[in-house]
Structure 1
Amino acid sequence: MKLATLKDGSRDGQLIVVSRDLKTACIANGIAPSLQRALDDWNFIAPQLDELYTRLNAGRAVNSFDFVAEKCMAPLPRAYQWADGSSYVNHVELVRKARNAEMPESFWHDPLMYQGGSDDFIGPCDDIVLASEEWGIDFESEIAVITGDIPMGEKVQYAGEHIRLLMLVNDVSLRNLIPSELAKGFGFFQSKPASSFSPVAVTPDELGEFWKDGKVHLPLRSTWNGNLVGQPNAGVDMVFSFPQLITHLCKTRNARAGTIIGSGTVSNKDASKGFSCIAEKRALEMIATGEPVTPFMRFGDTIKIEMLDKNGKSIFGAIEQSVVETDSVN
């Protein structure tokens, strides 16, 4: 099943069901007005949405219309919780190595995770609006899950049962603001502006054989200014699966329906697969020559993040954004 949220002038948008080929959609207001409402009563509402999805794919849905990603908000325009992990330890190791910092051995068995702002996500085709290029603007291509209610202390073998939907993420980072923030000892805040998500969120069964062991075993493509710069396989070198991230999150607290958990920047040890953020490319340059060459993003730059199935068809639709200076926006 594929779900999206249509812009309608409200904070939470209008829940729609989207066809498997991402060509048509149907409003789900007779079932649930918003995705959060569906998540709050998933066992009752999801079968109704799935029935509508079946009719839509068969061309039998009443009042269907063309699906347009540009008209979408984030699937969850605001969420009760957004927690981003760092499952691809290769990424962390490279970035630390570039600045001659030793990586603690614990990073291989104890996930890194931070809690980001979740009250104001931006849509998949909305501009990334910032005030300064000097902040070191970077994209981060990731995968995320949306969960149902999860009890505190949930066991890893059961944690995957709470995953309702998956989607793609651009977890924008302001690299030049990060060092001073981390030096304070309280983690990210100003260096992590609003994240954006793919136009469509999908149930795990939509991935078929490529959803296995709590990981998505497909390449995640990042295209910067029209150039494909990375397509690492999200199932390779993912040290912590989504069930493991869920277990980490819920060690000391409950998580409620609508919690979003990110994978962290997708990264493969095989450098030929490219990169999912500019910081990793710069780290490789630092390691090789002692100096980074690749600049961070400039105003006017574009980023596209997408995942294709085995037939080359988009699964989630694409995140397609431009970086825009604040003063240039009305």
Structure 2
Amino acid sequence: MRFATYEHRGRRHCGVVDGAAVRPFPDGTTLLGLIHSGLPRAATELAALSDPVSLDAVRLLPPLEPPSVRDFVTFEEHIEGVRRSQERTQDVPEAWYDAPTFYFTNPHALIGAHDDVPYPPGSRLLDFELEVAVIIGREGRDLTPEQARDHIAGYTLFNDWSARDLQIREMQVGLGPCKGKDTATTLGPYLVTPDEVEPYRDADGCLRLALTSEINGEVVGKDLLSNMSWTFEEMVAYASRGTVVRPGDVLGSGTCGNGGCLAELWSIRGEQVPPPLKPGDTVTLTADVLGSVRNTVVPGPEPVPLPTGRRRPRSRP
């Protein structure tokens, strides 16, 4: 099954996707509420659905408003590319192989599958990142990967928009990215239940889904989701270690390789080709089974001026 959250005639709805249409659930139904009640059973137990609405007539919203968003980095090829561009080496740190590293990103910056993306204030180097995410369906703590599979409600596309110049500068402080990742994250177009992707699972437990990135209709990257070095179940298990994952939590795979973002291509080619995204550019990301998201970059606001850090005297009481 596929579930969508959308706006139609000024009102927010949730429904099940049926071909080129969506069948809305009763007013007040939210996908997060259905996840708490248990997908897909909770959806099938609802009252009779209303007449279908054409997907062409709605504005797709992020499938849900998640309690938290973790973004992992599970593609070895992406790490090689980033290291090559930022640290002049393509060696992957041995620590990367220890566990599936992640950072927390902004759950309030999610945008829909076809929404415009404002340029991040103060940036001149905007990039996209092609990822897939899982959405947690059941609360769990200290899960094994085998247990984690039953805690996944579904899958969706994830575009981690990145202001590379802001990111590179702020990460020199020794913390993870903050404003470099804070303006927008595309989530959508739908939540796709696990049974839809299960036929694509390989012998290692990874999902062999083809991934494609395009800018203004030109293909710039292709990869397979199965090139992840950890499965989603292993990622969920690690995220739950010593803490709790809750229904609606979003876990991104991290950026795929072979053109999953511009920064990787720049490092390989030694020049900014394709150039950084600019207002008017449209980025389309596609994954087998999951569908496509298509966002156009638009001008953003100028940054509100702030002073630089003050060099304070080291006085003591």
TM-score, normalization: structure 1? 0.83
2:31–2:63 contact (8 Å) kept in structure 1? yes
Partners of 2:57 and 2:266 in 1: CA distance: 32
SS at match of 2:229: coil
Asked whether the 8 Å contact 2:25–2:50 carries over to 1, the reply is no
* Partner secondary structure for residue 5 of structure 2: strand
* Alignment-derived partner of residue 322 in structure 1: 296
Aligned residue for 1:41? 37
Please state how far the C-alpha of 1:94 moved relative to its aligned partner: 2.0
Which residue of 141, 148, 166 corresponds with 1:177? Answer: 166
**Hey, what's the Cα distance between the residues in 2 that align with 1:93 and 1:7?**
40
Q: Distance in 2 between matches of 1:282 and 1:25?
A: 40
Q: Are the counterparts in 2 of residues 133 and 299 from structure 1 also a CA contact under 8 Å?
A: no
Q: Which residue of 2 aligns with 1:82?
A: 69
Residues of 2 paired with 1:255 and 1:134: CA distance?
33
The structure number with the bigger radius of gyration is: 2
Q: CA RMSD in A?
A: 2.4
Matched to 2:212, the amino acid is R
Q: Is the 8 A contact 1:125 1:321 kept in 2?
A: yes
* Displacement of 1:67: 1.8
Instruction: Map residues 225-236 of structure 1 onto 2, 5 A cutoff.
Output: 225-235=216-226
Q: Match for residue 306 of structure 2? A: none
Gap change, CA 1:186 and 1:131, over 3 Å in 2:
closer
**Among candidates 205, 208, 211, match of residue 220 of structure 1:** 211
What is the number of residues matched between the two proteins? 297
C-alpha distance in 1, partners of 2:287/2:30?
A: 25
Aligned equivalents of 2:272, 2:31: Cα separation in 1? 42
Matches within 5 A, 1:12-31: 13-19=12-18, 21=19, 23-29=20-26
Q: 1:124 aligns with which of 90, 113, 126?
A: 113
Q: Give distance in 1, aligned partners of 2:212 and 2:160.
A: 15
Whichever residue aligns with residue 247 of structure 1, its letter is A
Query: Residues of 2 paired with 1:94 and 1:112: CA distance?
Result: 17
Partner SS, residue 88 of structure 2: coil
- 1:216, distance to aligned residue in structure 2 (A): 2.3
Q: Which stretches in structure 1 are left out of the alignment for 5+ residues?
A: 56-60, 268-273, 309-314
Map residues 278-289 of structure 1 onto 2, 5 A cutoff.
278-286=262-270
Q: Does 1:93 align with 2:71?
A: no
Check if 1:104 corresponds to 2:93. yes
Cα gap change, 1:4 to 1:202, in 2 (>3 Å): same
Q: Is the 8 A contact 1:146 1:165 kept in 2?
A: yes
Counterpart-to-counterpart distance in 1, 2:142 and 2:234: 12
2:52 aligns with 64
Alpha-carbon distance in structure 2 between the residues aligned to 1:69 and 1:167 = 21
Question: In 2, distance between residues paired with 1:96 and 1:327?
Answer: 31
Check conservation: 2:34, 2:42, Cα contact below 8 A: no
Code of the residue aligned with 2:81 in structure 1: it is L
Give the residue type in structure 1 aligned to 2:300. T
Larger fraction in strand: 2
Displacement after TM superposition at 1:185 (Å): 2.1
SS at match of 1:83: strand
- CA distances 1:147-195 after superposition (whole Å, capped 9, x unpaired): 1233221112211111111000111011111122212222111000220
CA gap 1:167/1:177 in 2 versus in 1, 3 angstroms: same
Q: Contact (CA 8 Å) 1:142, 1:262: kept in 2 or not?
A: yes
Give the secondary structure class of the aligned counterpart of 2:210.
coil
Match of 2:315 in 1: none
Conserved 8 A contact 1:137-1:172: yes
What displacement does 1:223 show? 1.1
Supply the distance in 2 between the matched residues of 1:181 and 1:204 (Cα, whole angstroms). Answer: 37
Using a 3 Å threshold, how does the CA distance of structure 1 residues 135 and 252 change in structure 2: closer, same or farther?
farther
For 1:325 and 1:172, locate their aligned partners in 2 and report how far apart those are by CA, in whole Å: 14
The alpha-carbon distance between structure 1 residues 135 and 208, as it changes in their structure 2 partners (threshold 3 A), is same
**Runs ≥4 in structure 1, deviation > 6 angstroms?**
none
Q: 1:72 to 1:293 in 2, by over 3 A?
A: closer
- In structure 2, the residue matched to 1:138 is 127
Separation in structure 2 between the aligned mates of residue 260 and residue 221 of structure 1, nearest angstrom? 21
SS at match of 2:291: coil
**8 A Cα contact 1:133 1:297, kept in partner:** no
Shift of residue 109 of structure 1?
Answer: 3.0
**2:191 paired with 1:201:** yes
Q: Assess if the C-alpha contact under 8 Å between 1:84 and 1:115 holds in 2.
A: yes
CA separation of 1:142/1:69 partners in 2, compared to 1, >3 Å: closer, same or farther?
farther
